[in-house]
Amino acid sequence: MRLKSKDLLGLKELSADEINLIIDTARPFKEVFTRSIKKVPTLRGKTVALLFYEPSTRTRTSFELAAKRLSADTINITSTASSVMKGESLIDTGKTLEAMQVDFVVIRHPMSGAADVLARNIKASVINAGDGMHEHPTQGLLDIFTIKEKKGKIKGLKVLIVGDIAHSRVARSNIYGLTKLGAEVRICGPATLIPKDIEKTGVRVYYDLNEALEDVDVVNVLRLQFERQKENLFPSIREYMLLYGITKERLRRAKSDVLVLHPGPLNRGIEITSEVADGLESAINEQVTNGVAVRMAVLYLLAGAQ
Amino acid sequence: MKIAIINGRVINPANGFDRICDILIDNGKIVSIKKLTKIPENAKIIDAKGKIVSPGIIDIHTHLREPGHEEEETIRSGTISAAAGGVTTVCCMPNTHPVIDNQTAVEFISLKAKNEGVVNVYIIGAISKGLKGEEISEIGELKSAGVVAISDDGNPVMNSLIMRRALEYAKMFNLPVISHCEDLNLSADGVMNEGYVSTTLGLRGISKESEEVMVARDIMLARLTGGHLHIAHVTTKNSVELIRQAKKQKIKITSEVTPHHFTLTDECAKTYDTNTKIKPPLRTKEDVMAIKNGLKDGTIDCIVSDHAPHTEEEKQKEYDLAPFGIIGLETLLPLTITELVLKKVLTLNEALAKLTINPARILNIDRGDLKIGAPADVIVFDIKKKRKIEKFYSKSRNSPFLGWELYGFPEVTIVNGKVIMENGEIYV
């Protein structure tokens, strides 16, 4: 079995089989890290360009490590240090990379649809590392991988995503991936941060966190972006924390073996307390490890689809 | 020059005339509308057998971009695009650079249109100085310079007091106030209709309510002042219903829709094609249905293009960054025929009324009526022939209809008794 498209732009268009293929492929790659020589020659001779129009620590490093562990060559293009500051368009940048025979372009961009537009205009495989509020497929995949590893399955699990759903590409990718694999997905946040018609994706909407947490197996906590307060989407950070912060006490409503995820970076003490983030339920560090394995799997499978 | 258009089905919505006969044109005017017993010598003969002959289209909402954005369109290229689309009269909006908010600017357009335009051009002046929505422009002076309406189109008039004053003041000059209904605080930085599609695409939405609250407000101000309010580019079910109720209360209100708003929905944005990025945005199936019903029962008076050219460089950007707007002069008639007439939403007569005599009456323009002595603005088109849209006469190509196959393309466009377009060739 292989992936149908040359690109990975989102989880909405992937079939459940394709998602499972990536998860199953990631498992043996995770094993590679435990060796003393953490490299396999699978993508030797291939070039991966990391085109990041937005700052990022974990995602960029994760992709870079994934590519290098597969023995690929990597190049980094961050917008501030490049022609983008001179006004070069996204498509022109893509074509320049293509002219240099790059095999993969991993793109992170502040605007929704950027990865789609790039993929349509260049022959290289495009991997969406997060475009605006649209999708962050590898994050969704690593979250699913983490849940599956800890819980043994996805189907039938109650998964809650908490926070600013409206502006979150992580939430969207999680929603598409988890519903496709049969999880019961709940979302919770202030009404002003829940996007229109989201129930049509099959999720259940809650405004009350206590209610939402009842009996859940997994809680995925989203980072609060402080700028949103200026847009009158919530009155203050304090109120957000009081109503939607994940604390040990609140977590008691969930199942006793609840798993806590967070895409990072954390705002400790706001959407999540240190007690929870560093506690036994937390798989946050595990997510980071799994991220490299999942990204190795994606590169490997897309190389096969090229 | 004499022109004889023979054997065509002549439809004149102004008086319900619908008959196979001939039209004779001489010296720029219509000389006769009847079966000719003898065709005059040296008359140019146009055989319209099996085709429709109607008044030329009067498009009361276009953007010609001159002065200021001649790279997108000029009065010349825009009027050529009009002629290609069977539009013999265009009304151009004042959101140019500089804005058409004073007599000199109006005269500039008049002169340019006279010297370089190939169809009739009527001018819409600004409601407020610089389109800022803070002070009403010198409406009296604009009227004497020749404007046929005022509008801040592109922008709403956010300040309700300014809108009230504009309606009151313009009433003195018999000028309709054309309102672009959008609450900018509600629409904020939205780029498409707010709904399931915008949620899954991760694009900021423009709620239907951002249009509806302003439609409601403007209707009340029209009722208060007795001024003539014309609602531009209606897009939602509730807007249509508000206008319907206002008409029942005999408020002086008229309204228009564009073909893209009765043909497309927000689903088109799924590919992130910026030729689907328009203001007001493409809405949903229920709104398209409501617009069609509004056209049927007369709530919506006319169909316009809202022709808004943009260069390829401007549109070839990320969805958030691309400017709003699509061209429409050349698809106005074909979309009306294909989506409304052939799909039995309107009869041919009703559809043509919405494109000719209705807009003429709204702006008090003495055109759109095939009568003896009238200036000969006539078009010939075929509703049985299908054609694929492959190129545009406009300077710009920003249209979501490229590649579509439609019926009802104009074959001959005559303006003031002169053949400007025939079988795709422009004669200027």
Q: Give the C-alpha distances (Å, rounded to integers) separating B210 from A62, B281, B294, B341.
A: 42, 11, 20, 31
Catalytic: B306?
Answer: yes
Give SS3 for B170.
Answer: helix
Q: What is the mean pLDDT of residues B379-392?
A: 97
Q: CB-based contact (8 Å) between A197 and chain B? A: yes
CB B113 within 8 A of CB B121: yes
Q: What is the mean pLDDT of residues B155-165?
A: 98
A11 to chain B: closest CA residue: B200
Q: Do A12 and B205 touch (CB under 8 A)?
A: no
Beta pairing class for A259-261 and B2-12: unpaired
B89-114 per-position pLDDT tens digit = 999 999 999 999 999 999 999 999 99
A210-228 per-position pLDDT tens digit = 999 999 999 999 999 887 7
A40, pLDDT greater than 70? yes
Average pLDDT value for chain A: 94
> Of the candidates A12, A114, A197, which has its C-beta nearest B318's C-beta?
A114
> How big is the A-B interface in CB pairs under 8 Å?
56
Q: What are phi and psi of B305, to 5 degrees?
A: -90, -35
A53-71 per-position pLDDT tens digit = 988 888 999 999 999 999 9
Q: How far is A292 from chain B (nearest CA, A)?
A: 26
A84, pLDDT greater than 80? no
The token duo for B133 is 């929505």
B306-359 per-position pLDDT tens digit = 999 999 999 998 999 999 999 999 999 999 999 999 999 999 999 999 999 999
- Among A33-37, B71-75, B229-233, B388-392, the range scoring the smallest mean pLDDT is A33-37
A282, pLDDT greater than 90? yes
Q: Which residue has the higher pLDDT, A104 or A305?
A: A104
> Of the candidates A89, A131, A132, which has its C-beta nearest B317's C-beta?
A89
User: Which pLDDT score, from 0 to 100, does residue A82 have?
Assistant: 67
Given pLDDT bands bounded at 50, 70 and 90, which one contains residue A37? confident
B193 to chain A: closest CA residue: A196
User: Which pLDDT score, from 0 to 100, does residue B96 have?
Assistant: 98
User: Which pLDDT score, from 0 to 100, does residue A1 have?
Assistant: 82
Residues 6 or more apart whose Cβ sits within 8 Å of residue A112: A131, A132, A133, A134, A169, B201, B202, B203, B272, B319, B320
> Of the candidates B316, B319, B321, which has its C-beta nearest A91's C-beta?
B316
- Taken as a whole, chain A contains a residue count of 306
Q: What is the mean pLDDT of residues B401-425?
A: 98
Chain A residues close to B318, C-beta within 8 Å: 90, 109, 111, 113-114, 117
Is the overall model pTM greater than 0.95, yes or no? no
d(CA A284, CA A268): 13
Average pLDDT value for chain B: 97
User: Which pLDDT score, from 0 to 100, does residue A228 have?
Assistant: 78
Q: What residues form DSSP beta bridges with B20?
A: B9
Q: Do B321 and A89 touch (CB under 8 A)?
A: no
Given pLDDT bands bounded at 50, 70 and 90, which one contains residue B302? very high
B14-29 per-position pLDDT tens digit = 999 999 999 999 999 9
A229-253 per-position pLDDT tens digit = 778 899 999 999 999 999 999 999 9
> Of the candidates A111, A200, A201, which has its C-beta nearest B320's C-beta?
A111
Task: State the residue for tokens 């590392």.
Answer: A129
Q: Give the C-alpha distances (Å, rounded to integers) separating A251 from A157, A203, A237, A247, B177.
A: 16, 21, 20, 6, 59
Q: CB-based contact (8 Å) between B316 and chain A? A: yes
User: Which pLDDT score, from 0 to 100, does residue A273 have?
Assistant: 97
Q: What is the mean pLDDT of residues A63-91?
A: 85
Q: CB-based contact (8 Å) between B286 and chain A? A: no
A289, pLDDT greater than 90? yes
User: Which pLDDT score, from 0 to 100, does residue B317 have?
Assistant: 87
Q: What is the mean pLDDT of residues A182-200?
A: 97
Q: What is the mean pLDDT of residues B236-253?
A: 98
Short-list B265, B261, B259, CA closest to B239: B261
User: Which pLDDT score, from 0 to 100, does residue A91 have?
Assistant: 87
